[in-house]
Amino acid sequence: MVVATLPILPVRRLSLALLLCLILGALSVALALRGPWLGLQLLGQEDGSITVTQASGPSDAIPVNARLVFLANDQTQLELTAKDLIEEPDVFDQYPEMDDFFMRQGELASLLRSPEVTLGWRVESDPKILQTTTLRPVERPLHSLPLLFWFQLAVSSAGFLIAAWVWALRPQEWGARLFAITGLSFPVFAMPAAVYSSRELALDGTWFRALSALNHWGSFMFGAALVGIFLCAPQRLVGLRVMVGLFMSYNLWWLADTLRWAPNMDWGNRFAVMSEMLLALLLAALQWVRSRREPVARASLRWFMLSLLLGSGLFILLIVTTASLGWLPPMPQGYAFGFFLFIYMGIALGLGRYRLFDLDVWAYRLLFWLGGALLLVGLDALFIGALHWSGAQALAVSLWTCALVYLPLRQWLWQKFGNRSRQRLHELFPDVLRIAFQSEPHARERLWEGLFQRMYQPLEQIALAQDQGGATQLTEEGLALLVPVCAGIPARLLRYPAQGARLFAPRDRDFAETLVHLMTLAESSRAAQETGAQEERQRIARDMHDDVGARLLMLMHHARTPELADLARAAMQDLRTALAALDSQPVLLENAQADWRAEASARCDAAGVKLLWQAPAHGLHAMLTARQKAVMERTLRESLTNALKHGQPQHIEIRITLEAAVLKVQISHDGPRTAPDAWNEGRGLRGMKHRLQEVHGALTLTALSGGGTQTILQLPLDTKDSLD
């Protein structure tokens, strides 16, 4: 079971939060059900009258669409107006208006508490006749609470629990603490509002006033905590004193509002909320500027700002601002509270992506656990409360529902968000094999790099010169992923995944680790195959050595003329080149160049010819395939032979250059020769050209103006042959 693997403390903290949430919810329901009920659903009309949209229970006799005129008991009669149905007292601009409203609500409420009340009403068809119905108010039943009430309870509970979840996991962090305060403030302002906005007609004046004050306090604290968050996350800008000061001043402001010290609602309440929003915005901007050199902080800040500002910004725009402009809110405040849930949903989704508050995917497990517990309790309550089942029956059905709905849902969500990588492993497996069986190390490294590029789309991928130890690891706070040396490919550092849009998470590390492991396995089997091939090649080389080599040596020994001996010697060298190419390992151009130079030097020395070898000291960083090296080596050798034999020069110059991935070897000598056009293309020259063409190279011969000849060998290195 998931719970068992979780750290105990967060679960305990979260359970506490859940309990608190349930208590707050139960309190709200109890308050909403408090007081007598007439069985009416009423709607205020523009002309100031009140119509009945639904009548049941005690007021069964009153028809729908009837206009209520008065409410009376045996002593008092009060005219009813649409004003009595105002959802949210905050729409009043002046405190006296508001206090009048509360007073009148109190009068209505006390009237309703009489054992019998009389309602006076008229119907549209017969507006002149005033009809009366006398009825006995009853206790308000649960089902009479409107959807809006439950909606507010639900969104504020959800927000609170998400905030509590974050806090439960990181109780030491200031950002998380303040976030938790916003979460706690959410039900504090939303639940009282839910209670008074879903009253039938009236609420006890004192209660109403208290609930309204609580609603204000909640919103003040929410805003203060929001400001606090940007004061300390991602960078702590102020000390504890300022933070306490912040909360103190808004508490004072709230006191001024509640005790009516402020001149009006604008000063008492709306400006306070707007000032908090403005402060939060300014601080967010400041944090934004300050985090310009820290992509981690920025990425999380961006997400956080978006969620927070979108959620609370929309609410303030739609409800607070319209109210202060004297307009009617475009939607019931209760539903507008839904915007706040954006914040919490955004944070919840952003946690894994940006590691907000340094949390990770595993944190979701706790959320799933919470969801399960909540579903269980909720269903239980529903069955007991609404369907009047016995406790045991309700529990059994709830458990079954959880099993049928929650567990599969959790599984689905987990697969969708938590474990995407597992599905991709089998897709990547052929790629890994292809890389492992790539014999050319550079191509292997290139493909390995490409694989990681495709998988994580990092902005930066650096091959590391030194091995950083055995394991794949997250570094730089999740900005980078270190992939160790594997299958002879250097370790590499991947930075800024998803084009810098997210951070590396432990599951990325685990997945990369699996890949590395797989690669190592595949490589070792390739190496085994290679060893087999290597042994076979060595056997061939040994045979050639013993057989052909010995015969050539005999040929040299028994050669009747020095020319024949030279021919055998040249054949021997070619054989060596061919055998060296057998192991098919690519060669660094620098090294090939060194071998050629040593051989050319020795031959020129022996022939008494001065050799000028020109090659860049650095800048021959390229790889030659074994075949390319063999072809170039043989061609160069033969060109040198031709120069030494036919040209009889005093100087030979060999110049090696590498430009635009084309290797160019120029052999010039100062020996007298006829113009190249007059030459007959012998078998030697044809063979050289042919061999070079096979590796996409070319040979050109030119007569130098000052006498002598130049042979140019060109070989493109960056062809498909050289890389695959």
Partner 1 sequence: MINVLLVDDLPEALAMLQAVIRAAFPEACCALAANVSQAKQLLDSRLFRMALIDLGLPDGDGMEIIQHIQQRQPECATIVATIFDDDEHLFKALQAGAQGYLLKDHPPESLAQQLQKIFEGQPPLSPAIARRLLRHFQRPPSVGAITEAELTVRERAVLGLLAQGIRIVDIGNELHISRHTAGDHVKNIYRKLKIKSRAEAALHAKGLGLI
Interacting residue with partner 1 among 147, 550, 661, 698 (CB under 8 A): 550
Whose tokens are 């508050």? That residue is 357
Shortest distance, CB of residue 650 to partner 1, whole angstroms?
18
Binding mask 582-621 for partner 1 (x = CB under 8 A): --------xx-xxxxxx--xx--xx------x--------
Task: Enter the DSSP assignment of 560.
Answer: S
Shortest distance, CB of residue 548 to partner 1, whole angstroms?
10
Interacting residue with partner 1 among 119, 181, 341, 552 (CB under 8 A): 552
C-alpha pair distances (Å), 135 with each of 36, 114, 363: 11, 10, 55
Q: In this structure, which amino acid lies at residue 700?
A: T
Q: Which of residues 280-299 bind partner 1 (CB under 8 A)?
A: none
Binding mask 228-267 for partner 1 (x = CB under 8 A): ----------------------------------------
User: For residue 116, which of 71, 156, 85 has the smallest C-alpha distance?
Assistant: 71
Whose tokens are 């490409």? That residue is 450
Closer by beta carbon to partner 1, 255 or else 571: 571
Residue 52: strand, helix, or coil: strand
Shortest distance, CB of residue 598 to partner 1, whole angstroms?
4
317 touches partner 1 by CB under 8 A? no
* DSSP-derived pairing of the beta strands 662-669 and 651-659: antiparallel
Strand order in the sheet with 709-716: 610-614, 651-659, 662-669, 709-716, 698-703
Neighbouring-strand partners of residue 585: none
578 touches partner 1 by CB under 8 A? no
The rounded distance, in Å, linking the Cα atoms of 658 and 72 is 105
Helix axes 562-582, 506-544, angle to 10 degrees: 150
623 touches partner 1 by CB under 8 A? no
Candidate segments 167-175, 246-254, 568-576, 642-650, binder of partner 1 by CB under 8 A: 568-576
Shortest distance, CB of residue 715 to partner 1, whole angstroms?
18
Closer by beta carbon to partner 1, 505 or else 541: 541
Shortest distance, CB of residue 594 to partner 1, whole angstroms?
3
579 touches partner 1 by CB under 8 A? yes
DSSP secondary structure letters along 197-232: HT-SS---HHHHHHHHHHHHHHHHHHHHHHHHHHHH
Q: Which of residues 319-358 bind partner 1 (CB under 8 A)?
A: none
Q: Which of residues 507-546 bind partner 1 (CB under 8 A)?
A: 541-542, 545-546
* DSSP-derived pairing of the beta strands 662-669 and 709-716: antiparallel
The rounded distance, in Å, linking the Cα atoms of 153 and 28 is 8
Interacting residue with partner 1 among 569, 646, 655, 664 (CB under 8 A): 569
Closer by beta carbon to partner 1, 133 or else 534: 534
Closer by beta carbon to partner 1, 573 or else 719: 573
The rounded distance, in Å, linking the Cα atoms of 178 and 357 is 11
558 touches partner 1 by CB under 8 A? yes
Task: Enter the DSSP assignment of 63.
Answer: P
Interacting residue with partner 1 among 64, 403, 425, 554 (CB under 8 A): 554
Candidate segments 17-25, 163-171, 221-229, 554-562, binder of partner 1 by CB under 8 A: 554-562
Candidate segments 70-78, 233-241, 291-299, 574-582, binder of partner 1 by CB under 8 A: 574-582
b/e sequence 208-240, b meaning 16+ C-beta within 10 Å: bbebbbbbbbbbbbbbbbbbbbbbbbbeeeeee
Neighbouring-strand partners of residue 161: none
Closer by beta carbon to partner 1, 8 or else 617: 617
The rounded distance, in Å, linking the Cα atoms of 395 and 384 is 9
Closer by beta carbon to partner 1, 62 or else 626: 626
Candidate segments 115-123, 279-287, 402-410, 576-584, binder of partner 1 by CB under 8 A: 576-584
**Contact footprint for partner 1 (CB under 8 A):** 541-542, 545-546, 549-550, 552-554, 556-558, 565, 568-569, 572-573, 576, 579-580, 590-591, 593-598, 601-602, 605-606, 613
